[in-house]
Amino acid sequence: MAYYVTTPIYYVNAEPHLGHAYTTIAADVLARHMRQRGEDVFFLTGTDEHGEPVALAAERLGTTPRELADRNAVRFRDLARQVDATNDFFIRTSDEQHVAAVQEVLSRVERGGHVYLGTYEGRYCPRCADFKTEGELIDGNRCAIHKIELALEREENYFFRLSAFQEPLERLYAERPGFVRPENRYNEALSFIRQGLNDISLSRSQLTWGVPVPWDERHVFYVWFDALLNYYTALTYARPGEDLSERFWPATVHVMAKDILKFHAVIWPALLMAAELEVPKHLFVHGYLLMEEEKMSKSLGNVIDPFQVMELYGTDALRYYLMREVSFGQDGSVSTEGFETRYTTELANEYGNLASRTLAMVARYRDGIVPEGEPPDALAGDFDGLAERVGERFDAVAVTAALDEIWRLVRRLNQYAQDEAPWQLAKDDDAAERLDQVLYALAEGLRVVTVLLHPFVPKSAERLLAALGDEDLSLDRAQFGAGGGGTRIGELPPLFPRVARAAAA
Residue nearest to ligand MSP (CB): 19
> For 108-132, what is the HEC assignment?
HHHHCCCEEEEEEEEEEECCCCEEE
Which listed residue (98, 128, 264, 454) is catalytic? 128
* Residue 9 within binding range of ligand MSP, rule CB under 6 A: yes
* Dist. CA 196–CA 174, nearest whole Å: 16
- Catalytic member of 17, 264, 282, 286: 17
- Residue 383 interacts with ligand MSP (CB under 6 A): yes or no: no
User: What span, in angstroms and rounded, lies between the C-alpha atoms of 296 and 310?
Assistant: 18
Using the minimum distance from each CB to ligand MSP, give the nearer residue, 203 or 233. Answer: 233
Local structure of 209: helix, strand or coil: coil
- The one among 165, 288, 321, 496 contacting ligand MSP by CB under 6 A: 288
Pick out residues in 31-50 that bind ligand MSP (CB under 6 A).
48
Q: Is 23 in the site for ligand MSP (CB under 6 A)?
A: yes
Q: CA of 103: how far to CAs of 95, 208, 223, 259, 279, in Å?
A: 13, 15, 13, 27, 19
Q: Pick the closer one to ligand MSP by CB: 304 or 475.
A: 304
Question: CA-to-CA distance for 283 and 266, rounded, in angstroms?
Answer: 11
* Pairing verdict, β 203-204 and 137-138: unpaired
Residue 189 lies near ligand MSP (rule: CB under 6 A)? no
Nearer to ligand MSP by Cβ, of 27 and 465: the residue is: 27
Q: Phi/psi at 152 (nearest 5 deg)?
A: -75, 120
Binding to ligand MSP (CB under 6 A) within 246-265 occurs at 256-257, 259-260
Q: What angle do CA 119, 122, 127 make, to 5 degrees?
A: 115
Per CB under 6 A, 75 contacts ligand MSP: no
The count of other CB atoms within 10 Å of the CB of residue 1 is 9
> Whole-number minimum distance, CB 271 to ligand MSP, in Å?
11
By CB under 6 A, is residue 269 in contact with ligand MSP?
no
Q: Measured between alpha carbons, how far is 357 from 183 in angstroms, rounded to an integer?
A: 43
Look at the alpha carbons of 173, 179, 183, 189 in this order and tell me if their dihedral is positive or negative: negative
| Residue 161 or 264 having the CB closest to ligand MSP | 264
The SS3 call for residue 385 is: coil
**Binding of ligand MSP by 8 (CB under 6 A):** yes
Residues 212-231 that bind ligand MSP (CB under 6 A): 227-228, 230
**235 vs 260 by CB, closer to ligand MSP:** 260
Is 282 part of the annotated catalytic residue set?
Answer: no
Q: Which helix (H) or strand (E) holds 440?
A: helix 432-453
In the chain, % helix, strand, coil (3-state, to 5) comes to: 55, 15, 30
Rounded to the nearest whole angstrom, what is the least distance from the CB of residue 475 to ligand MSP in the complex? 27
Catalytic residue selected from 20, 98, 114, 132: 20
Which CB atom, from 259 or from 325, has the smaller least distance to ligand MSP? 259
- What amino acid positions are annotated as catalytic residues? 17, 20, 125, 128, 143, 146, 295, 298
- For binding to ligand MSP (CB under 6 A), which residues are involved? 8-11, 19-20, 22-23, 48, 227-228, 230, 256-257, 259-260, 288-289, 295-297
